[in-house]
Amino acid sequence: MEFEKYSGLGNDFIITKEELSIEEVVKYCERRKSIGADGIIILKKKEENYYMHFYNADGSLASMCGNGIRCYVHYLYNHNLVSKDDEILIDTLSGIKKIRIINDDKNDFWVSVDMNKAINTTEIKEIKALDRKFEYIYTFTGTDHVVIYIDKEDLNEEFVIKYGKNIEQNKEVFPKGTNVNFVYVKNMDEVEIMTFERGAGLTLACGTGASAVGYISNKLGKTNEKIKAKLLGGNLEIELKNDTIYMNGPSELIYKGSVE
Protein backbone atom coordinates (compact mmCIF):
# COMPACT_ATOMS: atom_id res chain seq x y z
CA MET A 1 0.00 0.00 0.00
CA GLU A 2 1.32 3.40 -0.97
CA PHE A 3 0.26 6.16 1.39
CA GLU A 4 0.89 9.66 2.67
CA LYS A 5 0.83 10.69 6.33
CA TYR A 6 -0.71 14.04 7.24
CA SER A 7 -1.25 15.88 10.51
CA GLY A 8 -3.85 18.43 11.52
CA LEU A 9 -2.49 19.85 14.80
CA GLY A 10 -1.13 16.45 15.77
CA ASN A 11 -4.32 14.60 14.83
CA ASP A 12 -2.67 12.31 12.28
CA PHE A 13 -4.06 10.41 9.31
CA ILE A 14 -3.00 7.92 6.68
CA ILE A 15 -4.34 8.82 3.22
CA THR A 16 -4.31 6.29 0.41
CA LYS A 17 -6.00 5.41 -2.88
CA GLU A 18 -6.26 1.74 -1.99
CA GLU A 19 -9.27 -0.11 -0.63
CA LEU A 20 -8.63 -1.62 2.79
CA SER A 21 -10.36 -4.17 4.98
CA ILE A 22 -11.34 -3.30 8.53
CA GLU A 23 -8.54 -5.55 9.76
CA GLU A 24 -6.00 -3.68 7.64
CA VAL A 25 -7.27 -0.32 8.92
CA VAL A 26 -6.79 -1.40 12.53
CA LYS A 27 -3.37 -2.89 11.76
CA TYR A 28 -1.99 0.17 9.95
CA CYS A 29 -3.31 2.58 12.61
CA GLU A 30 -1.63 0.72 15.47
CA ARG A 31 1.21 2.74 16.87
CA ARG A 32 4.66 1.25 17.52
CA LYS A 33 3.77 -1.88 15.52
CA SER A 34 2.80 -0.25 12.21
CA ILE A 35 2.44 3.21 10.64
CA GLY A 36 0.28 4.53 13.47
CA ALA A 37 -2.53 7.06 13.06
CA ASP A 38 -5.78 8.35 14.49
CA GLY A 39 -7.56 7.30 11.30
CA ILE A 40 -7.37 6.42 7.62
CA ILE A 41 -8.87 8.34 4.69
CA ILE A 42 -9.52 6.55 1.38
CA LEU A 43 -9.45 8.67 -1.79
CA LYS A 44 -12.81 8.30 -3.54
CA LYS A 45 -15.25 10.23 -5.69
CA LYS A 46 -19.03 10.41 -5.37
CA GLU A 47 -20.49 11.67 -8.62
CA GLU A 48 -18.55 14.87 -9.46
CA ASN A 49 -17.18 15.53 -5.94
CA TYR A 50 -14.35 13.99 -4.00
CA TYR A 51 -15.60 11.86 -1.13
CA MET A 52 -13.90 11.46 2.26
CA HIS A 53 -14.22 7.80 3.24
CA PHE A 54 -12.96 7.97 6.81
CA TYR A 55 -12.11 5.20 9.27
CA ASN A 56 -11.30 5.67 12.95
CA ALA A 57 -8.30 3.80 14.33
CA ASP A 58 -10.57 1.04 15.65
CA GLY A 59 -11.95 0.37 12.15
CA SER A 60 -15.28 2.11 12.65
CA LEU A 61 -16.58 4.52 10.03
CA ALA A 62 -16.85 8.18 11.00
CA SER A 63 -19.35 10.53 9.39
CA MET A 64 -16.99 13.51 9.53
CA CYS A 65 -13.60 14.59 10.86
CA GLY A 66 -12.68 18.28 10.97
CA ASN A 67 -8.91 17.84 11.10
CA GLY A 68 -9.13 14.96 8.65
CA ILE A 69 -10.97 16.96 6.01
CA ARG A 70 -8.30 19.69 6.10
CA CYS A 71 -5.63 17.04 5.58
CA TYR A 72 -7.67 15.45 2.78
CA VAL A 73 -7.89 18.78 0.93
CA HIS A 74 -4.13 19.21 1.40
CA TYR A 75 -3.61 15.75 -0.15
CA LEU A 76 -5.88 16.63 -3.09
CA TYR A 77 -3.99 19.90 -3.58
CA ASN A 78 -0.60 18.17 -3.50
CA HIS A 79 -1.82 15.81 -6.24
CA ASN A 80 -3.13 18.70 -8.39
CA LEU A 81 -6.72 17.52 -8.00
CA VAL A 82 -7.90 20.87 -6.63
CA SER A 83 -6.52 24.41 -6.77
CA LYS A 84 -6.35 27.33 -4.36
CA ASP A 85 -8.90 29.29 -6.41
CA ASP A 86 -11.53 26.53 -6.32
CA GLU A 87 -14.55 26.39 -4.07
CA ILE A 88 -13.82 22.81 -3.04
CA LEU A 89 -16.76 20.52 -2.33
CA ILE A 90 -16.01 17.40 -0.31
CA ASP A 91 -18.75 14.83 0.20
CA THR A 92 -18.94 13.08 3.57
CA LEU A 93 -21.39 10.86 5.42
CA SER A 94 -22.68 14.04 7.08
CA GLY A 95 -23.17 15.87 3.79
CA ILE A 96 -21.17 18.09 1.44
CA LYS A 97 -18.66 20.51 3.01
CA LYS A 98 -17.55 23.72 1.28
CA ILE A 99 -13.85 24.43 1.68
CA ARG A 100 -11.43 27.23 0.83
CA ILE A 101 -7.66 27.06 0.84
CA ILE A 102 -6.54 30.16 2.78
CA ASN A 103 -2.80 29.70 2.41
CA ASP A 104 -1.06 27.21 0.11
CA ASP A 105 2.46 27.80 1.42
CA LYS A 106 4.26 24.46 1.68
CA ASN A 107 5.19 25.06 5.31
CA ASP A 108 2.02 26.89 6.34
CA PHE A 109 -0.97 25.30 4.60
CA TRP A 110 -4.29 26.59 5.98
CA VAL A 111 -7.86 25.62 5.12
CA SER A 112 -11.27 27.08 6.00
CA VAL A 113 -14.10 24.57 6.29
CA ASP A 114 -17.79 25.50 6.22
CA MET A 115 -19.04 23.08 8.87
CA ASN A 116 -22.69 23.97 8.12
CA LYS A 117 -25.14 24.54 10.94
CA ALA A 118 -24.98 22.56 14.16
CA ILE A 119 -28.05 20.86 15.54
CA ASN A 120 -29.46 23.64 17.65
CA THR A 121 -29.63 22.34 21.19
CA THR A 122 -28.53 24.07 24.36
CA GLU A 123 -30.43 21.75 26.68
CA ILE A 124 -28.30 21.09 29.74
CA LYS A 125 -28.44 17.51 30.99
CA GLU A 126 -26.61 15.60 33.72
CA ILE A 127 -24.61 12.40 33.51
CA LYS A 128 -22.85 10.30 36.15
CA ALA A 129 -19.35 9.11 35.37
CA LEU A 130 -17.60 7.01 38.01
CA ASP A 131 -17.45 9.20 41.14
CA ARG A 132 -18.50 12.47 39.45
CA LYS A 133 -21.60 14.07 37.99
CA PHE A 134 -21.25 16.38 35.00
CA GLU A 135 -23.57 18.78 33.26
CA TYR A 136 -23.32 18.38 29.50
CA ILE A 137 -24.82 19.68 26.28
CA TYR A 138 -25.14 17.59 23.13
CA THR A 139 -24.80 18.85 19.56
CA PHE A 140 -23.99 17.47 16.12
CA THR A 141 -21.32 19.13 13.97
CA GLY A 142 -20.92 16.40 11.39
CA THR A 143 -20.59 13.85 14.18
CA ASP A 144 -21.83 13.48 17.76
CA HIS A 145 -20.37 15.67 20.49
CA VAL A 146 -21.02 16.47 24.12
CA VAL A 147 -19.54 19.58 25.71
CA ILE A 148 -18.65 19.67 29.40
CA TYR A 149 -17.34 22.82 31.10
CA ILE A 150 -14.79 22.25 33.86
CA ASP A 151 -12.29 24.18 35.96
CA LYS A 152 -8.77 24.83 34.69
CA GLU A 153 -7.18 22.49 37.26
CA ASP A 154 -9.24 19.55 35.98
CA LEU A 155 -8.24 19.99 32.36
CA ASN A 156 -5.47 17.41 32.15
CA GLU A 157 -4.89 14.16 30.28
CA GLU A 158 -5.47 11.87 33.26
CA PHE A 159 -8.82 13.49 34.05
CA VAL A 160 -10.00 13.52 30.42
CA ILE A 161 -9.07 9.90 29.77
CA LYS A 162 -10.61 8.69 33.03
CA TYR A 163 -13.97 10.41 32.70
CA GLY A 164 -14.08 10.79 28.92
CA LYS A 165 -13.75 7.06 28.36
CA ASN A 166 -16.48 6.31 30.88
CA ILE A 167 -18.89 8.80 29.29
CA GLU A 168 -18.07 7.70 25.74
CA GLN A 169 -18.84 4.09 26.68
CA ASN A 170 -22.14 4.86 28.43
CA LYS A 171 -24.40 3.04 25.98
CA GLU A 172 -27.54 3.75 27.98
CA VAL A 173 -27.18 7.47 27.31
CA PHE A 174 -25.24 7.25 24.02
CA PRO A 175 -26.09 3.97 22.24
CA LYS A 176 -23.60 4.68 19.44
CA GLY A 177 -21.03 6.30 21.73
CA THR A 178 -20.06 9.96 21.47
CA ASN A 179 -17.12 12.34 21.39
CA VAL A 180 -16.52 14.03 24.75
CA ASN A 181 -15.13 17.57 24.95
CA PHE A 182 -13.89 18.99 28.24
CA VAL A 183 -13.68 22.78 28.11
CA TYR A 184 -12.18 25.59 30.14
CA VAL A 185 -13.37 29.05 29.09
CA LYS A 186 -10.43 31.41 29.49
CA ASN A 187 -12.27 34.52 28.30
CA MET A 188 -14.81 35.62 25.68
CA ASP A 189 -12.28 35.08 22.89
CA GLU A 190 -10.42 31.93 23.94
CA VAL A 191 -11.18 28.44 25.18
CA GLU A 192 -9.05 25.40 26.01
CA ILE A 193 -10.32 21.99 24.93
CA MET A 194 -9.34 18.37 25.40
CA THR A 195 -11.36 15.74 23.53
CA PHE A 196 -11.81 12.04 24.14
CA GLU A 197 -12.81 10.83 20.68
CA ARG A 198 -15.08 7.92 19.91
CA GLY A 199 -12.97 5.24 18.25
CA ALA A 200 -9.64 6.97 18.91
CA GLY A 201 -9.40 8.01 22.57
CA LEU A 202 -7.64 11.19 23.66
CA THR A 203 -6.28 12.98 20.58
CA LEU A 204 -4.15 16.08 20.14
CA ALA A 205 -6.93 17.91 18.32
CA CYS A 206 -10.53 17.51 17.18
CA GLY A 207 -11.92 19.94 14.62
CA THR A 208 -15.58 18.93 14.87
CA GLY A 209 -15.20 19.09 18.66
CA ALA A 210 -13.76 22.60 18.56
CA SER A 211 -16.64 23.56 16.25
CA ALA A 212 -19.16 22.15 18.73
CA VAL A 213 -17.52 24.04 21.59
CA GLY A 214 -17.46 27.31 19.65
CA TYR A 215 -21.11 26.96 18.75
CA ILE A 216 -22.45 25.99 22.18
CA SER A 217 -20.23 28.43 24.08
CA ASN A 218 -21.55 31.31 22.00
CA LYS A 219 -25.17 30.19 22.37
CA LEU A 220 -24.71 30.11 26.16
CA GLY A 221 -23.16 33.58 26.16
CA LYS A 222 -19.79 32.32 27.30
CA THR A 223 -17.83 33.43 24.20
CA ASN A 224 -17.97 35.73 21.20
CA GLU A 225 -18.78 34.59 17.67
CA LYS A 226 -15.07 34.25 16.80
CA ILE A 227 -12.74 32.41 19.16
CA LYS A 228 -9.35 30.80 19.41
CA ALA A 229 -9.64 27.16 20.43
CA LYS A 230 -6.47 25.98 22.16
CA LEU A 231 -5.99 22.22 21.73
CA LEU A 232 -3.18 19.91 22.79
CA GLY A 233 -1.71 20.05 19.27
CA GLY A 234 -2.16 23.76 18.61
CA ASN A 235 -4.84 26.34 17.82
CA LEU A 236 -7.91 26.46 15.61
CA GLU A 237 -10.02 29.47 14.74
CA ILE A 238 -13.77 28.92 15.07
CA GLU A 239 -16.19 31.55 13.78
CA LEU A 240 -19.98 31.72 13.63
CA LYS A 241 -21.70 33.62 10.82
CA ASN A 242 -25.51 33.47 10.78
CA ASP A 243 -25.34 30.24 12.79
CA THR A 244 -22.99 28.62 10.26
CA ILE A 245 -19.72 27.37 11.76
CA TYR A 246 -16.40 28.03 10.03
CA MET A 247 -13.32 26.14 11.15
CA ASN A 248 -9.94 27.54 10.09
CA GLY A 249 -6.77 25.55 10.67
CA PRO A 250 -3.53 24.09 9.32
CA SER A 251 -2.49 20.80 7.74
CA GLU A 252 0.96 19.33 7.36
CA LEU A 253 2.37 16.58 5.13
CA ILE A 254 4.54 14.44 7.40
CA TYR A 255 5.91 11.84 4.98
CA LYS A 256 5.17 9.45 2.13
CA GLY A 257 5.69 5.71 2.29
CA SER A 258 4.61 2.20 1.37
CA VAL A 259 3.91 -0.99 3.29
CA GLU A 260 3.19 -4.53 2.24
For 56-73, write each residue's pLDDT tens digit.
999 999 999 999 999 999
11 annotated to bind ligand: yes
**Residues 134 and 89 reside in one and the same domain:** no
Instruction: Reduce the DSSP state of residue 29 to 3 states and report it.
Output: helix
Residue 32 labelled as part of a binding site: no
| The pLDDT value given to residue 76 | 98
Asked if 136 and 221 sit in the same domain, the reply is yes
Q: Facing residues of 99 across strands? A: 88, 113
59 is in an annotated binding site: no
Tell whether 179 is in a known binding site: yes
Q: Are residues 97 and 13 in the same domain?
A: yes
The tally of domains found in the chain comes to 2
Which tens digits make up the pLDDT trace of 162-185? Answer: 999 999 999 999 999 999 999 999
> What is the structure's pLDDT at 106?
87
CATH of the domain at 158: 3.10.310.10
Domain hosting residue 17, numbered range: 2-112+249-258
- Pinpoint the alpha helices (H) of the chain: 22-29, 66-78, 157-168, 207-219
Q: Based on the domain organization, do 35 and 143 belong to the same domain?
A: no
203, 254: one domain: no
Judge if 138 and 235 occupy the same domain. yes
Question: What's the pLDDT score for residue 91?
Answer: 97
Catalytic (active-site) positions: 65, 206
Based on the fold, state whether residues 126 and 237 are members of the same structural domain.
Answer: yes
- pLDDT score for 122: 81
Q: Is 112 helix (H, G, I), strand (E, B) or coil?
A: strand
The reply to whether 143 and 233 lie within a common domain is yes
178 and 100 in contact (C-beta within 8 Å)? Answer: no
Question: Do 98 and 157 reside in the same domain of the chain?
Answer: no
Cα dist from 10 to 38, 141, 202, 205, whole Å: 9, 20, 11, 7
Low-confidence residues of the chain: pLDDT under 50: none
Strands (E), the chain: 2-8, 11-16, 39-46, 49-56, 88-92, 95-105, 108-117, 125-129, 132-140, 144-149, 179-187, 190-197, 201-202, 226-231, 234-241, 244-258
Exposed, middle or buried, 184 (CB in 10 Å: 0-12/13-18/19+)? middle
Is 101 in contact with 77 (CB distance < 8 Å)?
A: yes
pLDDT at 121: 77
What's residue 32's pLDDT? 94
- Strand 190-197 relative to strand 226-231, pairing: parallel
